[in-house]
Chain A
Amino acid sequence: MRYRSATLALACSAALVLAACGDEDGEAAGNVVGEGSGDSCVIEDPVRIGAALSLTGGAASYGQSQQRGLQLALADLNEKDGVTYDLSIEDDQTDERQGITVFESFSGSNGVSAIIGPTLSNSAFQAQPIAQEEGVPVVAISNTASGITAQGDYIFRVSLTEQQVIPQTVEASIDAYGLENVVVLYSNDDAFTQSGYEVFAETLENSDVEVSDTLTFSKNDTDFRALLTQARNSDPDALIVSGLIEAAIPLVTQARELGIDVPIIGGNGFNNPALIDQGGDAAEGVVVGAAWNSASDNPLNTAFLEEFSEEFGSNPDQFAAQAYAGLMVIDEAVRAGCSGERDAIKEALAGVSDFPTVLGDITINADRDTDHEAVVQVVRDGAFAVLD
């Protein structure tokens, strides 16, 4: 008896060692290698996906929107034959440390096949190295900072960067309004508005537009009248602003009060329905580039809009659309290799090309970023319309 239990213990520890070896190869749980390819792919066990979203804290409004987008995508995917998904959404509380914890639990043994998120670039920079180390593919769905995908070859992104959107925004505005002379304002105590400003500045430098003044503010400022009065002095054809939504609303309102009626061109921070809801008439003439055209008549998009409002009783925003597209891209990669193993997904993600999504046709480029066309919007009659 004694001898037998010792053997059993030995066998168990051998099994544990083997299991540990398996972990080092970065394998996810379950039998997730299937047969077939694309639509014909059949995988026996559900493929597990983890999402780290900011469901509470400062970025909660974005994270909750993403959660809805993912839930909708999950429901749609699980209706299709062949592959099913098991999605676990965890809250990073808009806290970088919590983001690391969530990534650790996703990456560990019995972890997931791929990770979506986190919501904010700040958290992404801290958490992604853990997934890279463990060999878990990550798909970023909302991060716009540069350098996100440079952290490793397992990191992919379906959201457009500021570097991709801003030049298109500026060029479209120059064409539409014949800009000759602009004033640039940006908050210089925030990493993202600062990097947004740098892209604006570089784009303007390469154009014929003259920048007659560059003014800075703090991300906590709410009174912009002194700055705007100064901006008004040079009689610009447009204001170009890199700021977060908290600054955007009072800035736009006060600009209109001071009689500045020219277009106001914003960075990603302006891409928020709150600008129209709370800015009211003052928001008219605000130009902002976006990764998702809510008015697109792409059939995937119209179906998405309809399903989303039916399910949640409200219209989706860009965060929901990008989250939806993110899970669809993972499905495309899983089916392409017909495998839910981490390395297979990573290989297949790199090969995603001209894949139709609600955002448009997505191609993952050599930097593991996404190439798809941005849409330049202008606020007209209380809604975002395509600038032409």
Chain B
Amino acid sequence: MATQQLLNGIFIGSIYALFAIGFTLVFGILDRLNLAHPAVFAASAFVGIELVDRTGMSIWFALPLVALLGAVLGLVIERVAFRPLKNRADAHFAGLIASIALGGVIIALLQWRYGADTRRFPAGSFPEGTVQVAGAQVTIVQILILVISLVLMVGLTWMVGKSRLGRAMRAIAENATAARVLGINADRITAITFAISSALGAVAGALFAMNVNSAQLTMGTAIELKGLAVIIVGGMGSLVGALIGGLILGIAEVFTVQFVGSSWRDLIAFALLFAILLIRPQGLLGKKKTREV
């Protein structure tokens, strides 16, 4: 039974992590908190379901399209909510508030398009069947979710660390003015960062909808606080930290159900957040007073 619960925790934790990594990427590089991220999470789930429902395409073809949609939304968010305000003295807060507003607009558009009801993938969209892993029941969809999440997270970490684009991102994170002097197009890199971040959030949303086979307008709000908890536990701006933080939160939740009681689940998860803030304010992998990607 413990194996089953551990796996339950890892699956849900990997989705938390994928969502949080998008969050923390923008925060770490640009020092901006994008609170329209949860709306992208919900939007991608609804659009993913419609793609599969309407065209009958395989969910595996729909996922890249959903990522593309996320990237486009990311560009829109950057252009509408952040860029016009970037030169203000209070750019951080102005952007944060503007992104809440834009998130509200996206949710309202979703409600207009899809209504308030819960939506689901049509029956037979996923490979059926379960496999036994060390005595635990695991669906094939869950394994694929885990693999996709891990591949995306490892790929992102490599890109930020090693690629030319990643170096440009880190240069901007270090000192935007100096980066501009060195010939880096800061606006372009900023837009690309938003696009990548939102693409990850979009894939997380579609995977979450697959995991529980339902999409609700409030699904973004439900994961938003958890995503913030994850990036704080992991260390603001740390990609590996967000991965570890996501898994810790997922596993903490299931073991609270197992050993303490189901009513205590959120209390324990957020108490954990508090404890980490008190003991290690910079988070598990965060560095004090430095920005990191």
Selected from A233, A246, A253, A280, the residue in CB contact (under 8 A) with B216 is A246
In the complex, identify which listed stretch (A144-152, A212-220, A303-311, A349-357) lies at the interface while the others stay far away. A212-220
Is the Cβ of A257 less than 8 Å from the Cβ of B139? yes
In the complex, identify which listed stretch (B80-88, B89-97, B113-121) lies at the interface while the others stay far away. B113-121
Nearest CB of chain B from residue A97's CB, rounded to whole Å: 18
Residues from chain B with Cβ under 8 Å of A217 in the complex: 262
Selected from B116, B211, B222, the residue in CB contact (under 8 A) with A57 is B116
Interface residues on A, range: 20 to 34
Residues from chain B with Cβ under 8 Å of A225 in the complex: 8, 11-12, 254
Q: Which B residue sits closest to A217, measured CB to CB? A: B262
Is the Cβ of B118 less than 8 Å from the Cβ of A226? no
Is A227 an interface position by the 8 A CB rule?
Answer: yes
Q: How many pairs of residues, A versus B, come closer than 8 Å at their CB atoms?
A: 71
Is B181 an interface position by the 8 A CB rule?
Answer: no
Interface of A is mostly: helix
Nearest CB of chain B from residue A54's CB, rounded to whole Å: 11
Is the Cβ of B211 less than 8 Å from the Cβ of A257? no
Query: What CA separation (Å) do A220 and B265 show in the bound complex?
Result: 14
Q: Which A residue sits closest to B9, measured CB to CB? A: A226
Selected from A61, A233, A258, A259, the residue in CB contact (under 8 A) with B117 is A61
Nearest CB of chain B from residue A362's CB, rounded to whole Å: 31
Q: Which A residue sits closest to B264, measured CB to CB? A: A216
Contacts A225-B8, A250-B212, A259-B137; A216 near B263 (Cβ below 8 A): yes
Contacts A216-B262, A259-B137; A249 near B1 (Cβ below 8 A): no
Query: What CA separation (Å) do A362 and B277 show in the bound complex?
Result: 62
Is the Cβ of B120 less than 8 Å from the Cβ of A226? no
Contacts A216-B263, A253-B213; A226 near B5 (Cβ below 8 A): yes
Contact with A along B104-137 (1 / 0, CB 8 A): 0000000000001110100100000010000001
Is the Cβ of B12 less than 8 Å from the Cβ of A223? yes
Query: What CA separation (Å) do A257 and B214 show in the bound complex?
Result: 15
Is the Cβ of B1 less than 8 Å from the Cβ of A233? yes
Is the Cβ of A223 less than 8 Å from the Cβ of B5? no
Is the Cβ of B116 less than 8 Å from the Cβ of A58? yes
| Interface size in chain B (residues, C-beta < 8 A) | 31
Is A40 an interface position by the 8 A CB rule?
Answer: no
Interface of B is mostly: helix
Is the Cβ of A223 less than 8 Å from the Cβ of B211? yes
Is B218 an interface position by the 8 A CB rule?
Answer: yes
Query: What CA separation (Å) do A129 and B219 show in the bound complex?
Result: 36
Query: What CA separation (Å) do A227 and B1 show in the bound complex?
Result: 12
Is A188 an interface position by the 8 A CB rule?
Answer: yes
Is A88 an interface position by the 8 A CB rule?
Answer: no
Is B58 an interface position by the 8 A CB rule?
Answer: no
Chain B residues 258-293 with CB under 8 Å of chain A are 258, 262-263, 265-266
Residues from chain A with Cβ under 8 Å of B139 in the complex: 257
Chain A residues 176-202 with CB under 8 Å of chain B are 188
Is the Cβ of B214 less than 8 Å from the Cβ of A249? yes
Residues from chain A with Cβ under 8 Å of B11 in the complex: 225
Give the interface centre of A57, A225, A258 by most chain B CB atoms within 10 Å: A225
Task: Return 16 A-B CB contacts under 8 Å, by A number.
Answer: A61-B117, A217-B262, A220-B216, A220-B218, A222-B212, A222-B214, A223-B212, A225-B8, A226-B5, A226-B257, A227-B262, A229-B1, A246-B216, A249-B118, A257-B139, A278-B123
Top-8 shortest CB links A-B: A222-B212, A226-B254, A226-B257, A225-B8, A215-B262, A280-B123, A229-B4, A250-B212
Given A225-B12, A246-B118, A249-B120, 6 other A-B residues pairs in contact with their CB atoms under 8 A = A218-B266, A226-B262, A230-B5, A250-B212, A257-B139, A259-B137
